[in-house]
Amino acid sequence: MRFNFKYIILVALTVVVASCKKDTKEAPKASFKGRLVYNGTPINVEQNQVPVELYQSGFGKRGAIVGNVTQDGAFSFLLFNGDYKLIIPGVQGPFRWNQTGATRDSLSVNISGDKTIDLEVTPYYLINDVKYSVSGRAVTAAFSVNKIITDANARDIERVTLYVNKTQFVSSNGDENVANNGIAGSAVTGTVNLTATVPALTPSQGYVFARVGLKIAGVDDMIYSPLQKISL
């Protein structure tokens, strides 16, 4: 049998034409972005640990569209236009949000085109005025801790820790720090100094990233200070 290009072209054309016609739905296009802020300052957390959930009713099944907050407190979604309910579930996040007692209330969000919002949250604590100094391979952070929630909902500090990592992802998570040093919450008064010694890094690099994390008793997620790049 002779090789006949005509048929191949014909089949290919049919496939192309037929499949273009029966394409699936349009992809979501409306971008919905936001940050977690307290008085305009972003809340720093560990990446992928604080979820933001969106619910849309009227489509049969119930289930959330889950987005995770980045290290510097930002989140983003690509959505279809419509009405959504936004919630940061349970006791996620080192803060109180939209709640009177123990449970949180959702927030109605209408999406029609791109949208940016800032979610105002009230952190239990903030880490203020972090100043880093370096001597040899020892990184020292000096900072103070500010208690924001002081009423009946106040919580104690469990630990305050300086974390240092070789990449910009820095947290208490085992593979997101190469050095850390912390003190118990009971020892936190006034200006706190913490020093962590960076071990030899392979491959060697002349800089590290550091953050100070604060663990609140009874809350999984820690609150962090802004990320700082430090030259060794």
Partner 1 sequence: MKKILIMSISAVLLITASCKDNNYLDIEPRDVVPTDKMFSDPALVLSVVADLYQRQLDFSSLDNGWASFADFSEAFPSENGSSFFVQRTSWGWGEWGTWDYGYIRDINLFIERATASTLKEEDKKIFIAEGRFLRAAYYFELVKRMGGVPLITQSLTYEGDALSLQTPRSKESEVYDFIISELEAIKSDLPALVNIKSRATRAAALAMESRAALYAASIAKYGAQRTPNVTLPGDEVGIPATMANAYYQKALAAAEAIINGEAGAYSLYRANSIDLSDNFAAIFTDKSDANKESIFIEDFKVGTNKVHSFTVNNQPYSRSEEGADAGRLNPSLNLVQAFEKLDNTYAPIPTVNASGDPIYYTNQQDIFAGRDARLAGTVMLPGSVFKGAAIDVRAGYQNASGDFISTGTLPGTSTPAVGLDGPADGLEFRTQTGFYIRKYLDPVTGSGRRGRRSDVPFIRYRYAEVLLNASEAAFELGDKGKALGYINQVRNRAGLTTPLNDLTFDRIVHERRVELVFEGHTLFDMKRWRLAHIVWDGANMTVADLKSDIGSATKHNTQPFSLWPYLYQNPGNANHNKWIFREVKLGRITGANRFQSGNYYSQINDDILSRNPKIVKQPNQ
Binding residue (CB under 8 A) for partner 1 from 40, 58, 60, 206: 60
87 vs 98: CA distance, rounded Å: 9
Total chain residues near partner 1 (CB under 8 A): 21
Q: Is 200 in the site for partner 1 (CB under 8 A)?
A: no
Q: Is 203 in the site for partner 1 (CB under 8 A)?
A: no
Whether the Cβ atoms of residue 30 and residue 115 lie closer than 8 Å to each other:
yes
226 vs 148: CA distance, rounded Å: 17
The token pair that represents 213 in the structure block? 């994390």
Binding residue (CB under 8 A) for partner 1 from 1, 20, 102, 152: 102
Q: Is 113 in the site for partner 1 (CB under 8 A)?
A: no
Residue with tokens 């974390």: 163
User: Minimum Å distance from CB 218 to partner 1?
Assistant: 5
The CA distances from residue 109 to 76, 98, 141, in Å, are 14, 14, 40
Binding residue (CB under 8 A) for partner 1 from 23, 39, 62, 152: 62
Q: Give the closest residue to 114 by CA, choosing from 84, 145, 142, 81.
A: 81
Q: Is 42 in the site for partner 1 (CB under 8 A)?
A: no
Identity at 174, one-letter amino acid code: G
Q: Is 25 in the site for partner 1 (CB under 8 A)?
A: no
Contact window for partner 1 (CB under 8 A) among 22-30, 59-67, 119-127, 185-193: 59-67
Phi and psi at residue 7, in whole multiples of 5°?
Answer: -65, -40
The token pair that represents 133 in the structure block? 């100094």
Q: Is 220 in the site for partner 1 (CB under 8 A)?
A: yes
Q: Is 184 in the site for partner 1 (CB under 8 A)?
A: no
Q: By C-beta, is 35 or 125 nearer to partner 1? A: 125
Q: Is 149 in the site for partner 1 (CB under 8 A)?
A: no
138 vs 195: CA distance, rounded Å: 6
Q: What is the DSSP string of 207-224?
A: EEEEEEEEEETT-SS-EE
Binding residue (CB under 8 A) for partner 1 from 14, 90, 154, 229: 90
Identity at 58, one-letter amino acid code: G
> In the stretch 164-183, what mask flags binding to partner 1 with x, by CB under 8 A?
--------xxxxxx--x---
The footprint of partner 1 (CB under 8 A) covers 60-64, 89-92, 102-103, 172-177, 180, 218-220
